Homo-oligomer: A and B are copies of this chain.
């Protein structure tokens, strides 16, 4: 599972710079701060979120190794109120904005790799929107798990293990549901032996069964 893009130029570019280490829970880039450059994730997972005016946390996406942020800022868009935070130990490489732009303009291959990365993110965001457009808690949670499997899962037969720890709060924040409702729906899936959790690592015990839950749900309506 997952997608393997060829981003050898991009990674080589960032690998020439210094390494920065972050512990789990550390903020890498805080909302409102001017980014110190473009961040490349060598290892670990980074959640990108904003805090709404009412204090609720709004999770946009989780970046994985090989990805770069904040992409839109590189091209003149606001990073606005986005915060980037390590949800596991993280190793970052960093280049300045101007260096990165110069790199993209100097090598045709580089721009092409960056384009591939951008298109991949667009695909991820389409999935997020599809997820958020579902209208009830069960299908939202189920779909969320399917998307996470596709993006972060390691498959073994019907079993899919997610590669990073996720709290129910994380999931709730990403699908715009309360933590309690999210827990209740996950509990249903656990009782059906479709998923298990251990130390915040989620395993889908049977990915086909999980997919069927969604279609069954709609058919029963």
Q: List 27 A-B contacts (CB under 8 A).
A: A52-B133, A52-B218, A53-B215, A53-B218, A54-B218, A58-B130, A58-B133, A60-B129, A60-B130, A71-B122, A72-B126, A75-B119, A77-B123, A104-B112, A105-B108, A111-B111, A111-B112, A111-B115, A118-B118, A118-B122, A121-B122, A122-B125, A125-B125, A125-B128, A125-B129, A128-B129, A129-B132
Which residues of A are in contact with B by a Cβ distance under 8 Å? 50, 52-54, 56, 58, 60, 71-72, 74-75, 77, 104-105, 108, 111-112, 114-116, 118-119, 121-123, 125-126, 128-130, 132-135, 176, 215, 218-219, 221
Closest 10 CB pairs of A and B: A53-B218, A118-B118, A125-B125, A108-B108, A132-B132, A111-B111, A58-B133, A115-B115, A75-B119, A133-B176
Cβ-neighbour of A119 out of B50, B54, B105, B118 (below 8 A): B118
Are the CB atoms of A221 and B133 closer together than 8 Å? no
